[in-house]
Amino acid sequence: MKTSRRGRALLAVALNLLALLFATTAFLTTYWCQGTQRVPKPGCGQGGGANCPNSGANATANSTAAPVAASPAGAPYSWEAGDERFQLRRFHTGIWYSCEEELGGPGEKCRSFIDLAPASEKGVLWLSVVSEVLYILLLVVGFSLMCLELLHSSSVIDGLKLNAFAAVFTVLSGLLGMVAHMMYTQVFQVTVSLGPEDWRPHSWDYGWSFCLAWGSFTCCMAASVTTLNSYTKTVIEFRHKRKVFEQGYREEPTFLDPEAIKYFRERIEKGDVSEEEDFRLACRHERYPTRHQPHMGDSWPRSSAHEAAELNRQCWVLGHWV
């Protein structure tokens, strides 16, 4: 039982540690969602340029046909003028920051995702952040309890107590993690529709941080199921061992020396057994008070096996307790 229980505990610890590493990595990285943004091409000034195909008359027509957005250089850009005036830049977003590719140079420009979220969703976003923190903290608590269980593997009772608490904390952490991931997903989708116009993605998809977050949740729930399974199986095995022990204690023991049984049976068959004999047959009433205690004159059963059991259960034979 010890080996199987220890194996289950090691599996639960490994899954919990994996969930903790995945959750921490996802919480600190900025690749929950990634995609492209449609932004005006740089280099289009007031007089137009090579990078600005819709200059002159075309620019005037386009500017009157659709709403315009002012560029940093002051030239009007139409977001509906066509793809020739715009280019796509990559971006990736996490819980804390949203980073965008710098146009015309290496590097990225990052800004707070909390500031980008609509005012109506900031409360949900902060609740998601708090849930993620609690998720990681409860994973740490569950991992610590599982490690303590391994150190107390020799004590079944202490191991069961630690196992039960570890299972509770792990299940709670998994539920918090699921809620946190879903709330962040909701906030991001609302921000895509109602966020700042210069940030709204042209296309996007979930990134590897998002996959790590849900992988952490999967490992967390697997660890909790393994811990609960270990607790249940240990309790069942413990009760089974106890039941077998109690049944064995009530049954007749069979550890009497066969030579002593043979000698005593021969003396009984000869009929010369007396209380004054040197081997002294002394029946112990205090051990089995409810059972029949035979006297010297009683007739013994003829069955050798039953006779040995009766002798083995009740009497001193040749100075040995049986």
Closest CA to 163 of 242, 216, 223: 223
The tens-digit pLDDT sequence of the chain (322 residues) is 445 777 888 899 999 999 999 999 999 999 999 998 887 776 554 444 555 555 443 444 444 334 444 444 444 444 444 556 777 888 999 999 999 888 777 788 899 999 999 999 999 999 999 999 999 999 999 999 988 888 776 677 777 888 889 999 999 999 999 999 999 999 999 999 898 888 888 889 999 999 999 999 999 999 999 988 888 877 787 777 767 766 765 555 555 556 556 655 666 666 655 544 444 444 444 444 444 444 444 444 444 545 544 444 444 444 444 4
User: Which domains are assigned to the chain?
Assistant: 2-50+65-242 (1.20.140.150), 258-321 (no CATH)
- By CB atoms closer than 10 A (0-12, 13-18, 19+), residue 13 is buried
* 8-state DSSP, 289: T
Sequence-separated contacts (24+) of 104-108 with Cβ below 8 Å: 104/42
Question: What DSSP line would sit under 33-57, residue for residue?
Answer: EEEEEEEEPTT--TT-BTTBSS-TH
The full length of the chain comes to: 322
